[in-house]
Structure 1
Amino acid sequence: MSPDSAGVIIGGDGLARPAWASTDPLMRDYYDQEWGLPVTDEQGLYERICLEGFQAGLSWATILRKRPAFRAAFAGFDPDAVALFGDADVERLLQDPGIIRNRLKIHAAIKNARATLELRNDGGLVDFVWSFRPVSTPRPRVAADIPTQSEESVALSKALRKRGFSFVGPTTMFALMEAVGIVDTHLLASHRRGSSGIWTD
């Protein structure tokens, strides 16, 4: 692995990636195969919102390692199923060592499932979240060029809170927008830049 002047690291496979995706194989695979690609199904988007909420204060690598356990614990992030979770489910989840055992975040996932169902009466979660796509995307050369929130993520955060969602702060929502392709914050020299098919510059 060797550093490049354009803010990326050239891996043994000859591909350029940011530092965060260059050492841990799990993070590298996530970066190469998933991060930044459009997520346009309700269940997938609900899962990402929940996982970004659980990630608050922790590393994304921790969440990725626990994602299979999260999916098992939260019925595959089926919002119809999670919306029915009650007190007994909360207590069960608090005893599950495979997930992040934070009562507030567990309650938020359940609350967000119910809010997701409510949004079906008004176009649905996918159209709602994607309506905050900006007219342009960042063009970062180095990691320091990447913002941690945006005017659109602030607006999305406020809009989701108004609809009953929790753990959807502006920084968390910017991370969501990056992860699901609403913005492209791949470094300009990265081999993944433009991979979403939405932003081609």
Structure 2
Amino acid sequence: MSWYCDVAPGHPFHGPYHDHEYGFPVTDDAVLFERLALEIFQAGLSWLIVLKKRPALAAAFDGFAIDRVVQYGEDDILRLMADSGIIRNRRKIEAIIENARRLQEIRHQHGSFAAWIAAHHPLSKEEWVRLFRRSFVFMGGEVVGEFLMSIGVLAGAHRDDCPVQERIRAACPAWLDPVRLETGN
């Protein structure tokens, strides 16, 4: 098995993401939406491409502010498709916009995207994939799994001997039991 921990150290893009974001618990809805969008944009591409385009994606999508993205229409899709700084895939762009709409409804029902995730935790990866496929669009197993690993909900972001893993365990909120992260139960 290849680990991100083996690739990332010292790399100008992978390193900071690995050391300070990947696998750490996230509760901010804009950050959660950004991570979900980045995983969608990554489908079929390398993570390095996504990390390099991340600042342009954030600017193009109004900082991934859900309430702004839900208002996007055809003119915005055309604007995004013309933006050479981002990943210009119409299906992915439309999925981000639709998922913002669905997130707005989830926030209306649960208070936040983070609360919705917490209300369903713990689930197996397969159960998470089924839930995300019912709740969002463009949700393959890899997109869902990587999203949940990136926000600390599923185990596997780091090896046990990775120095970042201990910092992640210390940062876990009470509902995100690190023992469950390790066992998957």
Amino acid at match of 2:113: L
Task: State the partner residue of 1:155.
Answer: 127
CA offsets per residue over residues 32-82 of structure 1, 9 Å max, x none?
Answer: 111111111111111111110010011111111101000010010001000
CA contact (8 A) 1:83 1:114 kept: yes
Match of 1:54 among 13, 17, 41: 41
| Structure 1: gaps (5+ residues) | 1-6, 9-16, 135-150
Task: State the partner residue of 1:142.
Answer: none
Residue 129 of structure 1 aligns to a residue whose secondary structure is helix
Q: Percent identity?
A: 36
| Coordinate RMSD, CA, aligned | 2.0
CA distance in 1 between counterparts of 2:109 and 2:141 reads 22
Match of 2:17 among 15, 19, 30: 30
The 5 A counterparts of 1:15-164 are: 18-22=5-9, 24-123=11-110, 124-134=112-122, 152-163=124-135
CA contact (8 A) 1:184 1:193 kept: no
Structure number with greater Rg is: 1
Q: Give me the TM-score of the superposition, normalised by structure 2.
A: 0.84
CA distance in 2 between counterparts of 1:162 and 1:76 reads 26
Runs of 4+ in 1 over 4 A off after TM superposition: none
Task: State the partner residue of 1:184.
Answer: 155
CA contact (8 A) 2:132 2:144 kept: no
1:132 positional shift: 4.2
**Higher share in helix:** 2
CA distance in 2 between counterparts of 1:56 and 1:130 reads 25
CA distance in 1 between counterparts of 2:113 and 2:50 reads 22
Q: Give me the TM-score of the superposition, normalised by structure 1.
A: 0.77
Residue 195 of structure 1 aligns to a residue whose secondary structure is helix
Q: How many residues align?
A: 170
Amino acid at match of 1:125: F
